Structure 1
Amino acid sequence: MELRVLPSSSWRVSRGISRGSEMAAGTAPNIRDVAELAGVSHQTVSRVINDHPSIQPQTRARVEAAIKTLGYRPNSAARSLARMRTGRIGAIVDSPEHFGPMNTLRGVEVASRRAGYFLSSVSVNDDSVDAINQSLEFLLDQNVEGLCLIAPRLPLLEVIRRRGLQIPSVVIATDTAHLVDDNGLQASVDQELGTRMMVDYLLELGHTRIAHLSGPHDWGDARSRRATFEATLAAHGLTPAAIVEGDWSPDSGFAAGPGLIEGTGATAVFSANDQMALGLVHYLSEVGLRVPDDVSVVGFDNTPESAHMIPPLTTVRQNFEKLGEMAIGSLLARIKGARVERETLRTQPSLVVRSSAGPRPATQRSR
């Protein structure tokens, strides 16, 4: 007896013959025998048996060959049970240590629970294809009914798109160019609206020399906020006083201070998040500049700490709870069989005015 799909694994073939001999002696093979012979997990074997659409063709071929070699017969009752709904949704979240992804995951979890579903989540923190595939396999092995991808950066989506997904999914990301499929669901907070509201607010205060402390370029939210910042100024015949890229951390905000302030004539700085704004305010204090008397500083996110900065930070609030409700609502509609065309969902942010921004100074700074 020969297992052609694994010609280099002779020990697996001989074991298959041994299992066949055991069958003749009255010992039937089980699902773990099939998994061992095919070189996969027993959950993967179960998904092949139940014709789960997420299985790649080469994996399916290996499992089916092992089933044939061993003469394995799946239990019909177990198959029926496996095909029942599990009431479980999977989530893969990129960079969960950051405020946006962390709170998006929280919003998705709350919305799932309210809908009567459990959420199984895994996190990825690098661009490793193997790590992303392993995370996906972990969730699929739990027979999740749908998948939520919280993808602030593109690598996660690129890997999933190349692999392909045959279960309902929703992408929570600003970028729409790399959806998982052509009829995909995509949800996000309206970054353009939030940025326009903030820049317009600074313009209303009389500022014409506005600098931008941007987030890292590989984040969709950072790219959207920067592009909208520049476009909004251009619509008023203005150009940025300066643009410096940070990494979302307070330390990067502090380090960006000289590039944003020295010799730029900036009277206001729009920071792409509150944490970098915190570091920038620290820098301004160190060099003897007052906020907002000398320089106005505004942020984005409305983190819990932003209300207690000195001075309290004017910022943009993102409604992550509403985002989770919209994303999970549309995902569940697909899980339950609704025909949903490609759809882009947006929640509206809101401006939170505090005391870190004021009117443009009457006199120009000497530095």
Structure 2
Amino acid sequence: MAERRSARPPSMVDVAREAGVAHVTVSRVLNGHPSVRPETRDRVVAAIERLGYRRNDLARSLKSGRSMTIGLVIAGSELFELPRTLLGVEKAAQQAGYWVNMSSWQGGGTDQLAATVDRLTSQAAEGIAIIADRPVVASALERMVARVPMTVVTSGNLMNPAIGSVELDQELGARLATRHLLELGHRDIVHLTGRLTAFDARARVEGWRAKMREAGVSEPEVLEGDFSAASGYRLGREVARRKRRPTAVFAGNDQMAMGVLAAFAEEGVAVPGDVSLVGFDDIMGSEYLVPSLTTVRQDFVALGRTSIDVLVGLMAGARPRHHLIAPTLVVRRSSAPPPR
């Protein structure tokens, strides 16, 4: 008669017995401890696979008093490059040994945001990360009381000293784009902005304007759009039809730059032969535009990763502060020295 199998799932003790090691060795392997020799680690992993062992994280959290869970709030619907930001969040949390419990908040008052955060903390989240659409979330966050360590991915320095924040340095990105054009020899550089009610648009204007002033160019020209390709096309046609065109255009983002390219092509303005063009964001496909687009690259994976690194630091007792992530300039064929 065949031996009857136990209905009990395999335990860490069973794994230790199967691998011929101590219980503490199995625990060290599961937690990635560096003191375990490679051959011992391989033996434990093989035993885990043979037995089908699965770690009981609920029992582990009850025993330790820790859930090893981070709450993540997606706040707002206008979140640029959210998938890449979430990828950074997930990777960083995984490397730090945390699970991510996600929720969503789509506007309302401070009470509603607090209720969303409280729901996550009631599920034993040890800290909260918020990926925020700033117009939706800024005022609510500034008034919130942080009941657990909290960090926010947003644009602009959050005026709440109890909450850590992380953002991409928009002003530096604009400085990089403008410096590139200045170093090529351009002095007449028009900036096509997004809607100036948006923090990102205002920060990019400030970076561009500061760099132009450093070069001795006073009162540089700003034309306001709304970050759409349509507004780039409209403003691009306006620039192309001038009797005296600028030698370079710094577009508020790559979508606007795409509209400018279409307008210039229709008006017979060569890029970069007649006018150089620089965008912002390095969106997917910008290298395949004709000509390929010089632009400012923002690392959204690093943005998400840093938000979790900062949160883990806060949970370990670090003080909240504002973190800026530097963008980089990607030089392609749409920029060149001005025509002689």
TM-score by length of 2: 0.73
1:175 equivalenced with 2:182 (yes/no):
no
With over 3 angstroms needed to count, the CA separation of the structure-2 counterparts of 1:87 and 1:238, relative to structure 1, is same
Residue from 124, 140, 147 that aligns with 1:166: 147
Residue from 320, 323, 334 that aligns with 1:356: 334
Q: Hey, what does 1:299 align to over in structure 2? A: 279
With over 3 angstroms needed to count, the CA separation of the structure-2 counterparts of 1:99 and 1:226, relative to structure 1, is same
Residue from 199, 202, 208 that aligns with 1:223: 202
1:316 equivalenced with 2:292 (yes/no):
no
User: Matches of 1:260 and 1:102 in 2, distance apart?
Assistant: 35
TM-fit CA distance, 1:145: 1.6
1:347 equivalenced with 2:328 (yes/no):
no
Q: 210-219 or 276-285, which moves further after superposition?
A: 210-219
Residue from 234, 245, 251 that aligns with 2:230: 251
- SS class of match (2:130): strand
Report if aligned partners of 1:108, 1:324 keep a CA contact under 8 Å in 2. Answer: yes
With over 3 angstroms needed to count, the CA separation of the structure-2 counterparts of 1:127 and 1:310, relative to structure 1, is farther
TM-fit CA distance, 1:171: 1.9
Q: 286-295 or 256-265, which moves further after superposition?
A: 256-265
Q: Hey, what does 2:250 align to over in structure 1? A: 270
**For residue 70 of structure 2, what is the amino acid of its counterpart?**
I
User: Matches of 2:330 and 2:251 in 1, distance apart?
Assistant: 14
User: Matches of 1:123 and 1:253 in 2, distance apart?
Assistant: 32
TM-fit CA distance, 1:225: 1.0
With over 3 angstroms needed to count, the CA separation of the structure-2 counterparts of 1:220 and 1:150, relative to structure 1, is farther
| Stretches (4+) displaced over 6 A | none
With over 3 angstroms needed to count, the CA separation of the structure-2 counterparts of 1:236 and 1:127, relative to structure 1, is farther
TM-fit CA distance, 1:227: 0.8
**For residue 260 of structure 2, what is the amino acid of its counterpart?**
L
**For residue 165 of structure 1, what is the amino acid of its counterpart?**
A
User: Matches of 1:292 and 1:359 in 2, distance apart?
Assistant: 8
- SS class of match (2:285): helix
With over 3 angstroms needed to count, the CA separation of the structure-2 counterparts of 1:184 and 1:128, relative to structure 1, is closer
TM-score by length of 1: 0.68
- SS class of match (2:250): strand
With over 3 angstroms needed to count, the CA separation of the structure-2 counterparts of 1:319 and 1:126, relative to structure 1, is same
Q: Hey, what does 2:268 align to over in structure 1? A: 288
User: Matches of 2:62 and 2:265 in 1, distance apart?
Assistant: 64
Q: Which has the higher contact order (CA 8 A, sep 6+)?
A: 2
Report if aligned partners of 1:151, 1:173 keep a CA contact under 8 Å in 2. Answer: yes
The alignment yields a C-alpha RMSD, in angstroms, of: 2.8
With over 3 angstroms needed to count, the CA separation of the structure-2 counterparts of 1:125 and 1:219, relative to structure 1, is farther
User: Matches of 1:265 and 1:123 in 2, distance apart?
Assistant: 47
User: Matches of 1:98 and 1:168 in 2, distance apart?
Assistant: 23
User: Matches of 1:329 and 1:184 in 2, distance apart?
Assistant: 14
TM-fit CA distance, 1:144: 1.9
Query: Deviations along 1:320-348, whole A, 9 cap, x unmatched?
Result: 2333333212211222x32x224232322
User: Matches of 2:164 and 2:266 in 1, distance apart?
Assistant: 47
TM-fit CA distance, 1:276: 1.6
User: Matches of 1:317 and 1:162 in 2, distance apart?
Assistant: 32
User: Matches of 2:65 and 2:202 in 1, distance apart?
Assistant: 42
TM-fit CA distance, 1:357: 0.8
Report if aligned partners of 1:250, 1:278 keep a CA contact under 8 Å in 2. Answer: yes
- SS class of match (2:166): strand
Report if aligned partners of 2:240, 2:267 keep a CA contact under 8 Å in 1. Answer: no
User: Matches of 2:296 and 2:259 in 1, distance apart?
Assistant: 18
Instruction: Within 5 Å, give how 1:61-210 maps onto structure 2.
Output: 81=62, 84-95=65-76, 97-124=78-105, 132-133=113-114, 135-179=116-160, 182-210=161-189
With over 3 angstroms needed to count, the CA separation of the structure-2 counterparts of 1:239 and 1:142, relative to structure 1, is farther
Report if aligned partners of 1:244, 1:256 keep a CA contact under 8 Å in 2. Answer: yes
**For residue 352 of structure 1, what is the amino acid of its counterpart?**
V
TM-fit CA distance, 1:198: 1.1
User: Matches of 1:212 and 1:360 in 2, distance apart?
Assistant: 16
Q: 201-210 or 154-163, which moves further after superposition?
A: 154-163
% same residue: 36
Report if aligned partners of 1:89, 1:144 keep a CA contact under 8 Å in 2. Answer: yes
With over 3 angstroms needed to count, the CA separation of the structure-2 counterparts of 1:325 and 1:163, relative to structure 1, is closer
Q: Hey, what does 2:6 align to over in structure 1? A: none
TM-fit CA distance, 1:159: 0.8
**For residue 201 of structure 1, what is the amino acid of its counterpart?**
H
